[in-house]
Amino acid sequence: MEKFSAWRDKATGISPFMPTKFPLVQEPSAVKRLGSYTLKTPIFIVKFPFFVLAYLLYTLTRWIGFAKFVIQLLFGLTTTFTVDGVKKSQTEKLEQYKPKAGDVLVTNYISPLDGFIVSVLANSSNTVFLIPNKQGTLYQYSALEVFNHCFSYEESKPVDDLSKLKNKIVVLLLEGTPSNNKSLLPFIKLDNKYNFDGFNVKSLVLKLSPSYFTLPIPYLGKFQYLFQLLTNLSKCSIKIKIYKFDKFDLNQIKNSFELNALTLINQELNLDSKQRFINYYFDHNIKKDI
């Protein structure tokens, strides 16, 4: 375990890429594993057909209601939504801050569900997720593609001109890669050709618990992840907080994450460093003893 300290932020001790032990898949005791499977399989068998149906209908129609059904009913995730400077009782005002076409929202990237979480909050699948590569070129993903990206890190379609996206809800995942919701990874410096003039600028701080649903590295398969979501027996919750800004100022935006206990960490913990972490993690096959 010693060497893993190489990927720890020296100032804070945070290890942003280290996954949390995943139940079942990483359960060391065979007896407990068998017990859990026995308990969960019937739940899975009941829910899975509904999941498949909703998935197919969503891919055909892109109607957000199907995604809502999966997130809220099948996965049982509950959402707490707050806005900086707005009281919980001012429900109408809270509504106004929800993601809308013409918004650019900078958000932290923590899980395969992030795309759907934001789309469901917006009550719209008119969302586009932009993830930069390390050179600062943005790539465009749908909510479903974000789900896949979290497992494969594949690049999709590059974006040239942001003004073409003004009729959409634009979500920027400036860290370029997921982390474990303990910190904010360094933002990737975008190519100069991108400008956010004319967009409403917001940040969206996202937290998910239990923390094993965050997926800092693809250490398990999509099916294992879904199985757990469909058969959770503990409380799962999403916390979302939105901040609104007058202009696209990265310092103000970063500050909104810091205010929510997502510490800014060392610039060295970047995409290259994460790739080395992933290689090391799988080489050492520590799955068994974390």
Ligand X SMILES: *[C@@H]1O[C@H](CO)[C@@H](O)[C@H](O)[C@H]1NC(C)=O
Give the residues lining the site for ligand X (CB under 6 A). 20, 74-76, 123, 180-182, 207, 209, 211, 232-236, 239
At its nearest, how many Å lie between ligand X and the CB of residue 234?
Answer: 5
At its nearest, how many Å lie between ligand X and the CB of residue 78?
Answer: 8
At its nearest, how many Å lie between ligand X and the CB of residue 139?
Answer: 26
In the complex with ligand X, which residue's Cβ is closer, 222 or 239?
Answer: 239
In the complex with ligand X, which residue's Cβ is closer, 39 or 155?
Answer: 39
In the complex with ligand X, which residue's Cβ is closer, 106 or 122?
Answer: 122
At its nearest, how many Å lie between ligand X and the CB of residue 160?
Answer: 30
At its nearest, how many Å lie between ligand X and the CB of residue 18?
Answer: 9
In the complex with ligand X, which residue's Cβ is closer, 20 or 119?
Answer: 20
In the complex with ligand X, which residue's Cβ is closer, 83 or 138?
Answer: 83
3-state SS string for 235-288: CCEEEEEEEEECCCCHHHHHHHHHCCCCEECCCCCCHHHHHHHHHHHHHCCHHH
Exposed, middle or buried by CB within 10 Å (0-12, 13-18, 19+), for 146?
buried
Using CB positions, name the residue nearest to ligand X: 76
Bridge-based pairing of strands 138-141 and 157-158 is antiparallel
How far is 129 from 122, CA to CA, in rounded Å?
A: 13
Rama region for 8: left / alpha / beta (φ>0; ψ in -120 to 50; rest): beta
How far is 240 from 235, CA to CA, in rounded Å?
A: 16
Exposed, middle or buried by CB within 10 Å (0-12, 13-18, 19+), for 31?
exposed
